[in-house]
């Protein structure tokens, strides 16, 4: 295992969302990228966080049960008929 | 919306009622919407007000001022034991064991399998309320950071801290799930 300058993996993990949101200072951004280039596990961690975000984004169509969806559509049709 | 409502009230049935009440209120009040905030933020306010009213009736309330204090009680994104400390004799702050890559996550891949999504859904449901609301709005519902800060009345920094912890926990849960199903395959 090579030793990266600057950040530890533990610090890297705390900064991942700041990095993805473009919220790191220039100095931290550089330290983050240096660690990313030098570490074996942290690039995998970053990729897995991005995979997690994509899978979470695929949940949204399942957020209502069929019953709730039916009740909503019914309410909408009532409202639509009134206006 | 259901997920947001569910972070206020106890049962899924009540959460569904809150969502229905919200849509009715939205439909009935749409003419009064003045466009001073985004439509999403406006709907969200109606939703949280409806959820809070129900939660008060049930004697359970999560206030957004709790969210800010939740971020101050610093907890690390991952459990400490996953990183080396001085007692291991190695370089402190490094992963205890190297991470392994997950399978590709193309739409047809295992990462999107129904059971995997169910696992993520449960992991999000098990988060502390503040983390749950933020990750639900950002990553599940696709809101922007600005919209979430405005709706929850939290700072940019708070929003990022909560989101980072939530993502770390959900990632961990997914990792355990993928490791376990690999073992049984």
Q: Write out pLDDT tens, residues A59-76.
A: 765 554 555 556 655 655
- Is B104:B118 a contact under the CB 8 Å cutoff? no
**Neighboring chain A residues of B112 at a CB cutoff of 8 Å:** 55, 58
Tell me the range of A20-29, B10-19, B32-41, B176-185 where mean pLDDT is highest: A20-29
- Asked whether residue A41 carries a pLDDT value surpassing 90, the answer given is yes
Closest by Cβ to B98, choosing from A40, A48, A58: A40
Q: Span B44-64, mean pLDDT?
A: 74
Residue of A3, A17, A38, A70 to mutate, testing the B interface (most B Cβ within 10 Å of its Cβ) = A17
Q: What does the alpha-carbon distance between residue A81 and residue B119 come to, in Å, rounded to a whole number?
A: 40
- For residue B125, the chain A residues in CB contact (below 8 A) are none
CA distances from B16 to A69, B120, B135, B138, B172 (A): 9, 20, 20, 21, 29
Cα–Cα distance measured from residue B118 to residue B66, given in angstroms and rounded to the nearest whole number: 28
Chain A hits for B96, Cβ within 8 Å: none
Is the per-residue pLDDT at B81 higher than 70? Answer: no
Percent of chain A at pLDDT > 70 equals 65
Q: Do A52 and B167 touch (CB under 8 A)?
A: yes
Q: Are the CB atoms for B66 and B172 separated by under 8 Å?
A: no
CB contact under 8 A, A9 and B78: no
Is the pLDDT assigned to residue B54 strictly greater than 90?
no
Span B83-94, average pLDDT = 75
**Is the model's pTM score more than 0.80?**
no
- The Cα-based distances of B109 to B102, B106, B118, B139 in angstroms read 11, 5, 15, 20
């Amino acid at each position: 295992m090579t030793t990266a300058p600057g950040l530890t993996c533990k610090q890297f993990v705390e900064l991942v969302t700041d990095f993805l949101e473009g919220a790191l200072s220039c100095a931290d951004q550089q330290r983050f990228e240096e660690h990313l280039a030098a570490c074996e596990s942290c690039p995998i961690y970053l990729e897995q966080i991005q995979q997690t975000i994509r899978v979470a984004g695929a949940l949204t169509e399942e957020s209502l049960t069929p019953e709730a969806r039916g009740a909503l559509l019914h309410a909408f049709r009532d409202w639509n008929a009134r206006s | 919306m259901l997920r947001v409502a569910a972070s206020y009230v106890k049962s899924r049935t009540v959460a569904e009622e809150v969502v229905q009440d919200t849509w009715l209120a939205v439909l009935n009040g749409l003419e009064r919407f003045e466009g001073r905030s985004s439509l999403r933020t406006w709907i969200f306010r109606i939703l949280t007000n409806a959820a809070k009213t129900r939660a008060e009736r049930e004697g359970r309330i999560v206030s957004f001022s709790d969210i800010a204090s939740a971020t101050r009680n610093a907890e690390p994104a991952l459990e400490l034991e996953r990183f080396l400390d001085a007692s291991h004799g190695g370089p402190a702050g490094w992963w205890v064991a190297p991470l392994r890559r997950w399978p590709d996550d193309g739409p047809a891949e295992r990462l999107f399998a129904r059971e995997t999504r169910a696992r993520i859904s449960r992991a999000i449901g098990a988060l502390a309320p503040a983390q749950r609301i933020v990750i639900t709005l950002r990553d599940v519902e696709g809101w922007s950071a600005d919209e979430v800060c405005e709706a929850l009345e939290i700072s940019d920094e708070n929003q990022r801290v909560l989101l980072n912890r939530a993502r770390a926990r959900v990632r961990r849960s997914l990792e355990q799930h993928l490791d376990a199903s690999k073992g049984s395959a």
